[in-house]
Structure 1
Amino acid sequence: MRMWWQDLTQRERRTMTACFGGWALDAFDVQIYSFVIPTLIATWGMTQVQAGYVGTVALMFSAMGGWIAGALSDRFGRVRTLQITVVWFAVFTFLSGFATDYWHLLVLRSLQGLGFGGEWAAGAVLISEVIRPTFRGRAAGTVHSGFAVGWAGAALLFTLLFSILPQEQAWRVMFWIGVLPALLVIFIRRYVTESEVFEAVARARSATDHRPGMRQVVRIFHRDLLRTTVLSSVFAVGLQGGYYAVVTWLPTYLKTQKGLSVLGTGSYLAVIIFGAFCGFLAGAHLADWIGRRRTFLLFAVLSTIVVCLYTLAPIDNALMLVLGFPLGFCANAMFAPTGAYFAELFPTEVRGTGQGFCYNVGRGIGALFPAFVGLLSTTLPLGTAIGLYTAGAYGLAILALLFLPETCGRDITQATPSAKDELPPLPAAAPSA
């Protein structure tokens, strides 16, 4: 049986490999923090509220980084921006290992967040423009599965280092190892080329001596794109708010509420992460088979049910281990089509700006959810706080989806000199799910 990726060209495969690697290493660096929260609470006396603030501020800065990188990718190219963001987040992850107190770490993680958000924005638009419409959903979703790979790498490193080193040293070593993703830039520089659709637009701009400036950045707020921008942003808030409310606090929940050891926490997370990897791949294929919106809606509902069971129901640890797989599967399957979907909603000239802004505004506002969970956990059990905020966030995502169009099969590989030529049709009423 011939697999779909065998039909990709060498250029498509190399681009997909680079973006997969970037997202995996990005996730590796970002997820390190979730594993060291209990140690920082113990060694620095940092409160759960402060721990939530560090996670939240980093994600809010990643929203800023995504918008900036998206705009830069529309002006200077997707590949060049991708290289810069990879080096940026790797360097500031490394420097986080030298933090001496809460405020120092807060600043370094905030700066790391700029690169984290920027890498996704540049990579997502690149993969969407290079891969043909037939395979775009599967390719984008497979690239997203790199998040599970990076998450697994962080979990394995956590289990290893905290088993052989004192926790006061282990957390610093984890951050120092986070500099390794910078090596990916060597591969990108040698094997990955700019998307043809961007180069065509760049040539058209050169012919008219037009360079995108501030007007280009705010183009996504003009009347013909405003509805798409607002609804996409609201959807992204719900999508990411629910996800980060769970992911940021899950290791702490397992250790402090369920009393699991380092090895026990790693085992539970291994099941969840494996489910996440499978979920990304399943969501990737479903996005091309049944459409982007139906895939989002299906897994938003399933994620809400599973998260509520995992955090609110009185279940024992054995059943939690079993539920870990569907928890990781459903929550991450919903992310699989996002790169393709946001790219298909915006025209070429502002695709990076639109995609980077909407997805990362969702990340920035959604980043408040870990802080809200930390605050609510001072009056309610941590599991209850996680469940309530996650359910509310996914409900918001479902509401926004009801007013967004389906884009499966839309051809975005044909560049046009004017953004207006590619604008997606805006429905007069909400389309059926």
Structure 2
Amino acid sequence: MMTWYKEADRKTRRVFWTCSAGWALDSADSVVYSFLTPLLMAGLGMTLTQASSIASANFFSAAVGGWLGGWLCDRFGRARILQLTIAWFSFFSFASGFAHSYEQMLIIRVLQGIGFGAEWAVGAVLLGEMINPKHRGKALGTVQSGAAIGSGLAALLAGPFAAMFDPDLGWRIVFWIGIAPALLIFFVRRESDDSDLFKQAQQRNRELGRKTSLADVFKPNILRITIFAGLLSLGVQGAAYSISNFLTPFLHNERGLPIATAGFCILFNSAGGFFGFLTNAYASDNLGRRMVFRLFSVGFIIAASVYLFAPLGSSVPVLMAVGFVYGFFQFGSYASFGPYFTELFPTELRGTGQAFAYNFGRGGSAIFFTGVAMVAATGVTLSTAMATFAISAACCAILSTFFLPETAGRALIGIDDLTLHDGAEGVPPQV
């Protein structure tokens, strides 16, 4: 299973571990806010709608920041921009612990989103360009598994750890810990960590006097890929966040669990997600990127329905077991984003395209989880609102795969090799 790692050189291994740690800690901060929602509502006097609006604003700013970060890494180098994004989101994660009002938290989380939106895409591009094509799914999918570790860490911090302190102090300490990822910038070497593929593409651009812009991913020869990659991302992330953003209130209010106990249950979701990531990572290199997105989306719909509506009561062992299966599909769906988006976009636009598509889904998913809060506020049960939006989003993900090409095992292309044709199978030849 680790053949790809044994074949990698020292630089690739170091980049792998840096990206993995960065993504795990980035993921922890992105979900810890939702896990802390009950404490934040009490500490800052917010309503559920206000708390959700901050999460929505954070996701929208992440979409903008991610797109900008992707373009910057195409212009100035993957490693240099990776350092910048890690430092940015770490600082504003730390600053979140000093908020004293809804307005202050809103501003800080918007600024934090700009950095955390870019980190994943830049790291995925950096590593994806170094890996052998036949192992790209395994390597980047394994990096993506850090999200499950991050979510588990967030559940521990927001649940039992925060409960050790005064309610108004606990959530602040959790945010202050968010400064830790900044240490990772010392493990990234600027120009020396950029791939030879990227350096060659930069050299071609200089020779031709060609510069890339944010709008290049909307040009006719790449527009189809940009649209449906964005919709795929929107479907997967909209489905996940429609549920994950409300897990603590759901388990507390509808399942009758104490907040600290709910945190332990969510930890088992993350444990299942870790194995879902690894399963997807290895399956996508063999079954293809599109097929694993379909299989995991169908599994998500079934598992989410059971988790939300089955007569499980407040039995913690049962909720942990079912949550493990649910987490397997929810988190596992993400594992193929890195390799698939790396293969879909040409080198000169890879950062821009990948960041836009992924963060379009991340920002657009705010529509889904804000919708959950709004519908629940009308008197509909939270579980019903969660399921309605989550299943709709998962169907969007499945549908989009029929309009995208299969790319598993293909070598990466440059913009000069890009000759798309009509139809879902229209892809550039392997180079």
| TM-score under structure 2 length normalisation | 0.94
For 1:427, the equivalent position in structure 2 comes to 423
Q: Give the secondary structure class of the aligned counterpart of 2:403.
A: coil
For 1:218, the equivalent position in structure 2 comes to 215
For 1:365, the equivalent position in structure 2 comes to 364
Structure 1 residue identity aligned to 2:368: F
Q: CA–CA distance in 1 between the matches of 2:3 and 2:248?
A: 36
For 2:74, the equivalent position in structure 1 comes to 74
Task: Report if aligned partners of 1:25, 1:181 keep a CA contact under 8 Å in 2.
Answer: yes
Q: Shift of the alpha carbon at 1:188?
A: 1.2
Q: Shift of the alpha carbon at 1:179?
A: 0.7
Q: How high is the sequence identity, in percent, across the aligned residues?
A: 40
Structure 2 residue 85 is the aligned partner of structure 1 residue 85? yes
For 2:56, the equivalent position in structure 1 comes to 56
For 1:201, the equivalent position in structure 2 comes to 201
For 2:398, the equivalent position in structure 1 comes to 398
The 5 A counterparts of 1:299-310 are: 299-310=296-307
Q: Shift of the alpha carbon at 1:263?
A: 3.2
Task: Report if aligned partners of 1:18, 1:192 keep a CA contact under 8 Å in 2.
Answer: no
Alpha carbons of 1:389 and 1:374: their partners in 2 closer, same or farther (altered >3 Å)?
A: same
Choose which of 210, 230, 233 in structure 2 pairs with 1:233: 230
Task: Report if aligned partners of 1:72, 1:81 keep a CA contact under 8 Å in 2.
Answer: yes
Q: Shift of the alpha carbon at 1:167?
A: 1.0
**Range that drifts further, 421-430 or 129-138:** 421-430
Task: Report if aligned partners of 2:74, 2:348 keep a CA contact under 8 Å in 1.
Answer: yes
Q: Give the secondary structure class of the aligned counterpart of 1:315.
A: coil
The 5 A counterparts of 1:17-32 are: 17-32=17-32
For 2:288, the equivalent position in structure 1 comes to 291
Task: Report if aligned partners of 2:404, 2:425 keep a CA contact under 8 Å in 1.
Answer: no
Task: Report if aligned partners of 2:35, 2:247 keep a CA contact under 8 Å in 1.
Answer: no
Task: Report if aligned partners of 1:220, 1:354 keep a CA contact under 8 Å in 2.
Answer: yes
Q: Shift of the alpha carbon at 1:400?
A: 0.9
For 1:333, the equivalent position in structure 2 comes to 332
Task: Report if aligned partners of 1:11, 1:192 keep a CA contact under 8 Å in 2.
Answer: no
Task: Report if aligned partners of 1:403, 1:430 keep a CA contact under 8 Å in 2.
Answer: no
Structure 1 residue identity aligned to 2:269: I
Task: Tell me the alpha carbon deviations over residues 64-89 of structure 1, each in whole angstroms, 9 at most, x when there is no partner.
Answer: 11110111011001111111000000
For 1:8, the equivalent position in structure 2 comes to 8
Q: CA–CA distance in 1 between the matches of 2:141 and 2:272?
A: 14
The 5 A counterparts of 1:156-167 are: 156-167=156-167
Q: CA–CA distance in 1 between the matches of 2:159 and 2:37?
A: 14
For 1:321, the equivalent position in structure 2 comes to 320
For 1:134, the equivalent position in structure 2 comes to 134
Structure 2 residue identity aligned to 1:90: S
Task: Report if aligned partners of 1:345, 1:424 keep a CA contact under 8 Å in 2.
Answer: no
Stretches of 4+ aligned residues off by more than 4 angstroms? 423-426, 428-431
For 1:151, the equivalent position in structure 2 comes to 151
Alpha carbons of 1:423 and 1:139: their partners in 2 closer, same or farther (altered >3 Å)?
A: farther
Long gaps (5+) in structure 2: none
Alpha carbons of 1:126 and 1:424: their partners in 2 closer, same or farther (altered >3 Å)?
A: farther
Structure 1 residue identity aligned to 2:423: P
For 1:259, the equivalent position in structure 2 comes to 256
Long gaps (5+) in structure 1: none
Q: CA–CA distance in 2 between the matches of 1:293 and 1:303?
A: 15
Q: CA–CA distance in 1 between the matches of 2:126 and 2:299?
A: 30
Q: Shift of the alpha carbon at 1:160?
A: 4.2
Alpha carbons of 1:190 and 1:74: their partners in 2 closer, same or farther (altered >3 Å)?
A: closer
Q: Give the secondary structure class of the aligned counterpart of 1:334.
A: helix
The 5 A counterparts of 1:89-108 are: 89-108=89-108
Q: Give the secondary structure class of the aligned counterpart of 1:130.
A: coil
Q: CA–CA distance in 2 between the matches of 1:344 and 1:245?
A: 28
Structure 2 residue identity aligned to 1:118: A
Task: Tell me the alpha carbon deviations over residues 269-311 of structure 1, each in whole angstroms, 9 at most, x when there is no partner.
Answer: 1211100111111110001111101100000001011111211
Q: Shift of the alpha carbon at 1:423?
A: 4.6
Q: CA–CA distance in 2 between the matches of 1:425 and 1:81?
A: 33
**Range that drifts further, 421-430 or 105-114:** 421-430
The 5 A counterparts of 1:377-416 are: 377-378=376-377, 379-412=379-412, 416=414
Q: CA–CA distance in 1 between the matches of 2:81 and 2:330?
A: 29
Q: CA–CA distance in 2 between the matches of 1:382 and 1:192?
A: 50
| TM-score under structure 1 length normalisation | 0.94
**Range that drifts further, 306-315 or 374-383:** 306-315
Structure 2 residue identity aligned to 1:88: W
Q: Shift of the alpha carbon at 1:3?
A: 4.3
Give the count of matched residue pairs.
Answer: 424
Alpha carbons of 1:429 and 1:343: their partners in 2 closer, same or farther (altered >3 Å)?
A: closer
Q: Shift of the alpha carbon at 1:206?
A: 2.4
Q: CA–CA distance in 2 between the matches of 1:421 and 1:230?
A: 20
Task: Tell me the alpha carbon deviations over residues 370-394 of structure 1, each in whole angstroms, 9 at most, x when there is no partner.
Answer: 1111111112111111111000000
